[in-house]
Structure 1
Amino acid sequence: MLNVFTLKNGRLVQQEVDNPQTLAGLQPVWVDLESADPRELGWIEARFGLVIPTDVLDQDLEESARFYEEEDQNQLHLRSDFLISDEERPRNERVAFIIYGSVLFSIHTHDLTVFRLLRLRARRMPGLIENATDVLLALYLTDAEYSADTLEGIYDDLEVIGAHILKPRPSDQDASEALTGIALQEDLNGRIRRNVMDTRRALSFLLRSRHLSAEQSQEARQILRDLDSLDGHTAFLFDKINFLMDATVGFININQNKVIKIFSVASVAMLPPTLIASIYGMNFKVMPELDWSLGYPFALALMVLSVIAPFWFFRKKGWLE
């Protein structure tokens, strides 16, 4: 899919492009290629003279290959990860950026929330975007804000999990559901931290490249300060996640200990009747109760009493609570 954006009255306007002739008549500031096919890549090469490498979204690139500048061709290349906080499968999506001349080219595989948010904001706020570098910085700023909103959502979800698991006498089912929720939030929090680290590296590269104006450099430094605050928040959430994880595992152990305690009490309570049955099961000729007509019910009553007595004692001591 080929999305082309031009500036009109200070606003970012999306243009529909379905043939090379339409593309040739536009002066875009941003060209977004989402799962672009070879035909669309050919249009880009014919219109702008830019050949997009086939390995542009390679996940195994070294840092030197992720951020670099081709001075002889006036190209700036960046590879950045953007967060997708999908409830079912949160992930980081790799996006390749190429600033070529006065146009920003972005190449990615899936639709990104950050890109949608920027398009919506740029349509409503005139003057937000003036050139290709502004689009790139605005994407990083929107990504930082999106990460911050996601962190707030993680905190809210952990509050719900905490109230669920820290209630009196949580069941094993409660603990199991809490563990699942905690694991999901931990994974999402880790992805946000990775995303923040990657964005920081990209902004540092832009500052070193000297392609930013004084105003843009100031904006990039402000975004870096925002990212630093997100780092502290992710660390706080990791501590909260670890606390809830320890508490949940502790409640599971307590519930398991209760089951083991019941079995232990039952086994101890059955020892006296076993002893009595063993005594009266002995085959000796001289036993006082052998000729007693009430000997059998007496032995049964004695065994029942020997079971009740330990349970009464354990309950009085509070060991069955």
Structure 2
Amino acid sequence: MLNVFALANGRLFQEEIDSPEARAAAPAGPRPVWVDLESPTPEEKAWVAARFGLAIPDDIIDDDLEESARFYEEDNGELHIRSDFLIDGDDAPDGKPSRNVRVAFILFEGVLFSVHDEDLPVFRLLRLRARRIPALIEDAKDVLLKLYDADAEYSADALEGIYDNLERVSARVLKQDVDDRVAAEILAAIAKEEDLNGRIRRNVMDTRRALSFLMRSRKLGAEQFEEARQILRDIDSLDSHTAFLFDKINFLMDATVGFININQNKIIKIFSVASVALLPPTLIASVYGMNFQAMPELQWKYGYPFALGLMVASVAAPFIYFLRKGWLR
């Protein structure tokens, strides 16, 4: 899918070019500030090359791209940036889990080109804001900065969602009996939030690196440079939240595992008590089964009842002792 964005009366105007006829009829002007390519086809890449003189490599968003090749500038002025953007699983319409999606940016002759495989919530948020708020964007570098700003806000919203979900998990862990079924559900919920928290931390780290590269490239104006610094301060404020959430997740994980161990110890305790209680009657049965010259159960008419009663008493005595000690509670 190919979307072209141009400025009209201080607002971002979108034109979707999704067919060969639309690409052929696309006007030569005004020059857009942003060209967004979602899962671009070879025909769409060829249209970009013919219209703007920019060749988009086929491996531009490969995951195995070296870290050193994520931020660089070509001799012809092309500024290349590869960044990861977050998709919260709760916002994904396809029901997929939370994930980071690689996006390639190319800033070339006053136009920002973005290439990615999935539609991103941050991109939708920026399009909505740019249509409603006049003078929000003035050039292509503003588009890139506003995307990173929206990405920081989206990460903050995702962190708030983790806070809410962990509060519900805490209520289940600390305010009710935790059996094995409940413990399994709690561990699954904790693992999901831990994965999302880790992805947020990686996402903000990647955004920080991209902004630092932009600031070092000396292509930003004075106001844009200050805006980039403000975004970095917002990102720095998220680090303490992610660290706190990691600690909270570890605490809930340890508490849940502790309850699982308690439940297992209860089962082991039952077998231990039963084993100890059955030792005396086993000993009595062994003694009575020995080969005596005068066997009590044969020479005495109360021999069998006495042996059985002695076995019951030997079983009851340990249980009474355990109850007084509180070991059976």
CA distance in 2, matches of 1:62, 1:274: 71
Task: Indicate whether 1:253 and 2:266 are aligned.
Answer: no
Task: Indicate whether 1:262 and 2:266 are aligned.
Answer: no
CA distance in 2, matches of 1:11, 1:204: 28
Q: How does 1:266-281 map to 2 (within 5 A)?
A: 266-281=274-289
Which of residues 150, 164, 171 is equivalent to 2:158?
A: 150
Q: Which residue of 2 aligns with 1:39?
A: 43
Which of residues 233, 241, 247 is equivalent to 1:233?
A: 241
* C-alpha contact 1:269 1:307 (8 A) present in aligned 2: yes
Task: Indicate whether 1:176 and 2:184 are aligned.
Answer: yes
TM-score (norm. length: structure 1): 0.96
Q: Which residue of 2 aligns with 1:9?
A: 9
- In the TM superposition, what is the alpha-carbon distance from 1:167 to its structure 2 partner? 2.6
Which of residues 65, 83, 88 is equivalent to 2:86?
A: 83
CA separation of 1:37 and 1:298: change in aligned 2, threshold 3 A: same
CA distance in 2, matches of 1:84, 1:169: 34
CA distance in 1, matches of 2:197, 2:105: 25
User: 1:134-185 CA distances to partner (integer Å, 9 max, x unpaired)?
Assistant: 0000000000000000011111111111111223431111111111111111
Q: Which residue of 2 aligns with 1:52?
A: 56
Tell me how large the CA RMSD over aligned residues is: 1.3
Percent sequence identity is 70
* C-alpha contact 1:84 1:93 (8 A) present in aligned 2: yes
Q: Which residue of 2 aligns with 1:293?
A: 301
Specify every segment of 5 or more residues in structure 1 that has no aligned partner in the other structure, as ranges.
none
Which of residues 111, 114, 125 is equivalent to 2:119?
A: 111
TM-score (norm. length: structure 2): 0.94
User: 1:211-259 CA distances to partner (integer Å, 9 max, x unpaired)?
Assistant: 1000000000000000001111111111111111111111111111111
CA distance in 2, matches of 1:175, 1:282: 51
Task: Give the AA of the match of 1:14.
Answer: Q
User: 1:245-294 CA distances to partner (integer Å, 9 max, x unpaired)?
Assistant: 11111111111111111100000000111111111112212244532222
CA distance in 1, matches of 2:155, 2:320: 58
Q: Secondary structure at the match of 2:286?
A: helix
Task: Give the AA of the match of 2:77.
Answer: N
- In the TM superposition, what is the alpha-carbon distance from 1:20 to its structure 2 partner? 2.5
CA distance in 1, matches of 2:296, 2:54: 109
CA distance in 2, matches of 1:192, 1:23: 38
When structure 1 is superposed on structure 2, of 58-67 and 228-237 the one drifting more is 58-67
CA distance in 2, matches of 1:46, 1:169: 67
Task: Give the AA of the match of 1:80.
Answer: S
Q: Which residue of 1 aligns with 2:110?
A: 102
Task: Indicate whether 1:140 and 2:148 are aligned.
Answer: yes
CA distance in 1, matches of 2:27, 2:47: 9
Task: Give the AA of the match of 1:16.
Answer: E
Q: Which residue of 1 aligns with 2:174?
A: 166
Which of residues 27, 32, 43 is equivalent to 1:24?
A: 27
CA separation of 1:168 and 1:318: change in aligned 2, threshold 3 A: farther
Q: How does 1:185-196 map to 2 (within 5 A)?
A: 185-196=193-204
Q: Which residue of 2 aligns with 1:242?
A: 250
Task: Give the AA of the match of 1:82.
Answer: F
Q: Which residue of 1 aligns with 2:93?
A: none
Which of residues 206, 210, 233 is equivalent to 2:214?
A: 206
Q: Secondary structure at the match of 1:219?
A: helix
- In the TM superposition, what is the alpha-carbon distance from 1:121 to its structure 2 partner? 1.3
User: 1:65-105 CA distances to partner (integer Å, 9 max, x unpaired)?
Assistant: 111112x4221110000001114411110000001111110
Q: Secondary structure at the match of 2:298?
A: coil
When structure 1 is superposed on structure 2, of 168-177 and 232-241 the one drifting more is 168-177
- In the TM superposition, what is the alpha-carbon distance from 1:61 to its structure 2 partner? 2.7
Q: How does 1:119-134 map to 2 (within 5 A)?
A: 119-134=127-142
Specify every segment of 5 or more residues in structure 2 that has no aligned partner in the other structure, as ranges.
91-95
| Aligned length in residues | 320
